[in-house]
């Protein structure tokens, strides 16, 4: 096990000071209320009650203030919203986990980990949290950050994939808590901080993503992009087991390029195997695959030679080392004429290594090797995904990225966010007014400014977001004026 770059007892003391005197008591209060709600409504909860229960799960105190972000991505967000779509299944499974004997409940949890279709969307966290609520001293909560933090403490990799793995996690967690005198309610926050301190840092140098040691893991990508690791793992699985190309799409400011670049470095077997290009209206097939370019011979005569494009060059490199993975990131993919740029690649991307086509300029056969992955980004404010050529669209996975207060909240938690509450409140005001699913709703990254305060928030709104919205809301001037007034009033209250 490599030397630890932290002292566990110092981390425990620092987290207690950070959260304040109500660190444990506020969480105990929320847990008592959650038990009361479940006992009263078990088997009969409607969608709103499920969402409210998630909000209680997520409530705690921090520095004397009540917050709703104990867990990340958090039961107050997409997890409980998805579960609330099928109240019958939720009530059935939660009733079994809550009412069965401990032995039977743990067995059911193991089945749920092995077969995620038992309660789709519950992930690892909800089943384990229900057992934790029944006996916090005996059970732990399987959040990725908690399992990773405990894993680096004891040099063991924990996974939530069956009953045995959960029981092993709980046993080690109990021993760790005893060693450091950690209450059950403190464990997730302390282990999350340990996870952060154990990770290497990323650096952006000369427009290239590099890392101080080995290839980044999916957990590294999730941390760098402030996403749940389950989402990163799902994208990786889709690209490794299905089509080898995908497009991240969403409104501006949702981190599409940032995520694509980090994911590319996780997928590629070497940083040198990652290429990045940006499409634009003048980008052509000749730039991407091959074309004729003027050259001057030694005698000064001008002639035209076939010149390979960025994708052809990457494919040539990939064929030389078939056991390694290469990734091409295409930024602003929808700004070019995609059908013209891709040409016969629409066929070759689908039939990797099995079908070749004769290229028009070189008249040589060309195929796309299996070990090349394409990641595109697309701004839905410019063009809807539905408007893309269908032949192209059906050959790419579509990974949506929407404005997210979960992402913004995780960023604020892990960085020098300044007035995080102000940032979240202003972001939610704008997003809710424009619409969660609107293709022009500005994303969370606009607000990810180090040390942001009321004055910085005012600048973001006045010089970036208001002019942007004025362009897309030109037919709704009254609504924009009202939003402008409300945003300025909210910022003024916190100044």
Lowest mean pLDDT of 73-82, 104-113, 247-256, 267-276, name the range.
Answer: 73-82
Q: Are residues 395 and 423 in the same domain?
A: no
CA-based angle 169:174:175, to the nearest 5?
Answer: 100
Q: Are residues 127 and 113 in the same domain?
A: yes
What phi and psi values does residue 436 have, to the nearest 5 degrees? Answer: -60, -40
Q: Considering the domain boundaries, does residue 61 fall inside one?
A: yes
Q: Considering the domain boundaries, does residue 209 fall inside one?
A: no
Helix (H) or strand (E) holding 379: strand 372-379
pLDDT over 80 (residue 115)? yes
pLDDT over 90 (residue 365)? yes
What pLDDT shows up at residue 138? Answer: 96
What pLDDT shows up at residue 1? Answer: 46
- CA–CA separation, 167 and 142 (whole Å): 11
Residue 63 sits in which domain range? Answer: 8-198
What pLDDT shows up at residue 239? Answer: 95
Using the 3D structure, point to which of 198, 223, 256 is the last residue of a domain: 198
pLDDT over 90 (residue 321)? yes
- The CATH code of the domain that includes 256 is 3.40.50.300
- CA–CA separation, 363 and 319 (whole Å): 19
Q: Are residues 128 and 269 in the same domain?
A: no
> For the segment 165-174, what is each residue's pLDDT rounded down to a tens digit?
999 999 999 9
Q: Are residues 127 and 239 in the same domain?
A: no
Q: Are residues 356 and 436 in the same domain?
A: no
Q: Considering the domain boundaries, does residue 192 fall inside one?
A: yes
Q: Are residues 443 and 385 in the same domain?
A: no
Q: Are residues 186 and 46 in the same domain?
A: yes
Q: Are residues 257 and 333 in the same domain?
A: yes
What pLDDT shows up at residue 295? Answer: 77
SS3 206: coil
Q: Where are the alpha helices (DSSP H) in 351-460?
A: 390-393, 405-414, 420-434, 454-460
Q: Number of folded domains in the chain? A: 3
Q: Considering the domain boundaries, does residue 225 fall inside one?
A: no
> For the segment 155-193, what is each residue's pLDDT rounded down to a tens digit?
998 888 899 999 999 999 999 999 999 999 999 999 988
Q: Are residues 292 and 395 in the same domain?
A: yes
Maximum mean pLDDT: which of 229-238, 291-300, 382-391:
229-238
Q: Which residues contact 212 (CB under 8 A, 6 or more apart)?
A: 200, 201, 203
Q: Are residues 169 and 282 in the same domain?
A: no
What pLDDT shows up at residue 465? Answer: 94
pLDDT over 80 (residue 109)? yes
Q: Are residues 389 and 360 in the same domain?
A: yes
Report residue 104's pLDDT band, with 50, 70 and 90 as the boundaries. Answer: very high
What pLDDT shows up at residue 213? Answer: 46
Q: Are residues 259 and 383 in the same domain?
A: yes
Q: Considering the domain boundaries, does residue 203 fall inside one?
A: no
The mean pLDDT value for 121-130 works out to 84
Using the 3D structure, point to which of 378, 400, 422 is the last residue of a domain: 400
What pLDDT shows up at residue 385? Answer: 56
- CA–CA separation, 115 and 450 (whole Å): 41
Lowest mean pLDDT of 134-143, 278-287, 343-352, 484-493, name the range.
Answer: 484-493
Q: Considering the domain boundaries, does residue 221 fall inside one?
A: no
SS3 337: coil
What phi and psi values does residue 277 have, to the nearest 5 degrees? Answer: -135, 160
What pLDDT shows up at residue 73? Answer: 45
What phi and psi values does residue 265 have, to the nearest 5 degrees? Answer: -75, -20
């Amino acid at each position: 096990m490599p030397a630890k770059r932290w002292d566990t007892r110092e981390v425990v003391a620092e987290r207690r000071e950070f959260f304040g005197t109500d660190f444990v008591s506020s969480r105990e209060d929320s847990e008592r209320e959650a038990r009361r709600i479940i006992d009263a409504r078990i088997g009969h909860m409607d969608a709103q009650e499920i969402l409210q229960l998630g909000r209680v799960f997520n409530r705690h105190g921090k520095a004397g203030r009540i917050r709703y972000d104990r867990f990340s991505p958090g039961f107050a967000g997409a997890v409980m919203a998805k579960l609330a779509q099928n109240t019958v299944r939720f009530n059935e499974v939660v009733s079994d986990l809550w009412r069965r004997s401990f032995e039977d409940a743990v067995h059911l949890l193991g089945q749920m980990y092995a077969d995620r279709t038992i309660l789709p969307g519950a992930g690892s966290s909800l089943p384990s949290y229900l057992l934790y609520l029944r006996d916090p001293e005996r059970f732990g909560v399987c959040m990725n950050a908690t399992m990773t933090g405990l894993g680096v403490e004891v040099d063991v990799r924990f996974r939530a994939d069956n009953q045995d793995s959960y029981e092993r996690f709980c046993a080690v967690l109990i021993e760790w808590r005893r060693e450091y005198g950690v209450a059950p309610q403190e464990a997730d926050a302390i282990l999350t901080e340990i996870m952060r301190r154990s990770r290497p840092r990323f650096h952006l140098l000369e427009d290239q993503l590099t890392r101080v040691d080995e290839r980044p893991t999916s957990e590294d990508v999730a941390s760098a992009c402030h996403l749940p690791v389950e989402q990163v793992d799902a994208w990786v699985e889709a690209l490794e087991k299905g089509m080898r190309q995908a497009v991240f799409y969403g409104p501006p400011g949702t981190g599409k390029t940032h995520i694509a670049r980090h994911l590319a470095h996780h997928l590629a077997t070497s940083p040198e195997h990652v290429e990045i290009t940006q499409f634009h209206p003048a980008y052509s097939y000749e730039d991407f695959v091959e074309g004729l370019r003027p050259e001057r011979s030694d005698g000064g005569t001008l002639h035209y030679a076939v010149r390979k494009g960025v994708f052809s060059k990457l494919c040539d490199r990939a064929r030389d080392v078939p056991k390694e993975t290469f990734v091409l990131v295409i930024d602003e993919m929808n700004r070019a004429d995609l059908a013209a740029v891709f040409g016969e690649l629409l066929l070759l991307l689908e039939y990797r290594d099995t079908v070749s086509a004769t290229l028009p300029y070189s008249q040589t056969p060309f195929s796309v090797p299996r070990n090349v992955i394409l990641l595109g980004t697309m701004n839905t404010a410019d063009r809807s995904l539905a408007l893309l050529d269908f032949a192209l669209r059906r050959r790419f996975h579509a990974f949506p990225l929407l404005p997210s207060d979960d992402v913004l909240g995780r960023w604020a938690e892990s960085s020098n966010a300044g007035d995080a509450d102000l940032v979240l409140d202003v972001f939610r005001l704008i997003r809710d007014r424009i619409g969660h699913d609107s293709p022009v709703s500005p994303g969370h990254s606009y607000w990810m400014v180090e040390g942001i305060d009321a004055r910085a928030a005012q600048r973001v709104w006045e010089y970036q977001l208001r002019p942007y919205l004025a362009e897309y809301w030109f037919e709704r001037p009254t609504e924009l004026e009202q939003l402008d007034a409300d945003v300025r009033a909210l910022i003024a209250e916190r100044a």
